[in-house]
Amino acid sequence: AQKVTQAQTEISVVEKEDVTLDCVYETRDTTYYLFWYKQPPSGELVFLIRRNSFDEQNEISGRYSWNFQKSTSSFNFTITASQVVDSAVYYCALSTLGDSGYALNFGKGTSLLVTP
Amino acid sequence: GAVVSQHPSRVICKSGTSVKIECRSLDFQATTMFWYRQFPKQSLMLMATSNEGSKATYEQGVEKDKFLINHASLTLSTLTVTSAHPEDSSFYICSARDRRGGKETQYFGPGTRLLVL
């Protein structure tokens, strides 16, 4: 069975602080994909990153960085120097061939609030 | 990223009516699209997998006769909520599977907020 756990339900930080959103996943598949999406209040899901199970290289994109560690089944997301516009719900998701043909299995999401 | 459109963005209807939601991939062909549902303050839950030219695959607990899915072309999937009831009120969001260049990514439409009175 596939499972994604985002233990942090809500996080509140002050602007310019760094914040890390945790994601732990479970799967028996050797080939899988991990994603992070941002959902602002408007509701639309914004794609942030995709990682496949064979690529453990960490990635940095501007103020965003991701740490993928297969040894701990984690795919954590760090925002450096947070801004008010970063306020949103962030979802970590897992997809495998499985029963649903690469459909996304979402975590419960982490609501991030960045205050001025 | 790729563009996926979804219409309508918001629907208010009376109980018992049917509502049709369209999902289009605008700049790539998607043999597979997915339909998710999101209740307030909750995560997204997969309802069904829509495959072009074949029957949709529904998740356990999702009534296939109530949520009709048609994937008639490589760029269009539709979800029809038949005889909608207040408990069907939710945020419905589709995604299109992008396999171009060997990547495996899903891009989401902007979603449809359905309110059944």
**What are A64-100's pLDDT values in tens digits?**
999 999 999 999 999 999 999 999 999 999 998 876 7
CB pairs under 8 A between A and B: 62
Mean of pLDDT values over A4-19? 97
Banded pLDDT at A1 (limits 50, 70, 90): confident
Between residues 70 and 99 of chain A, which touch chain B (CB distance below 8 Å)?
91, 95
CA distance B54 to B69: 10
Summarize pLDDT for B58-80 with one digit per residue, the tens: 999 999 999 999 998 899 999 99
Residue A94: which of A46, A60, A50, A63 has the closest Cα? A50
- Chain B interface disruption, residue of A45, A102, A108, most B CBs within 10 A: A45
Helices (H), B6-112: none
Answer yes or no: are the C-beta atoms of A19 and A110 closer than 8 Å. Answer: no
> A82: distance to nearest CA of chain B, Å?
23
Q: Which amino acid is located at B27 in the chain? A: D
Cβ proximity of A58 and A67 under 8 Å: yes
The 10s digit of each residue's pLDDT in B3-26 is: 899 999 999 999 999 999 999 999
Quick one: pLDDT band at residue B1, thresholds 50, 70, 90? low
Average pLDDT of every residue of chain A: 93
Which long-range contacts does A46-54 make (Cβ < 8 Å, 24+ apart)?
A: A47/B1, A47/B105, A47/B106, A47/B107, A47/B108, A48/A77, A48/A90, A49/A77, A50/B103, A50/B104, A50/B105, A51/A75, A52/B104, A53/A29
CB–CB of A102 and B97 under 8 A? Answer: yes
A101: left (phi over 0), alpha (psi -120 to 50) or beta: left
Measured between CB atoms, does B110 come within 8 Å of chain A?
A: yes
The pLDDT of residue A101? 76
A100:B46 CB<8 A: yes
Contact B112, B8 (CB under 8 A): yes
The distance of B99 to chain A (nearest Cα, Å) reads: 11
Q: Within an 8 Å CB–CB cutoff, is residue B71 touching chain A?
A: no
Q: How does residue B114 score in pLDDT terms, banded at 50, 70 and 90?
A: very high
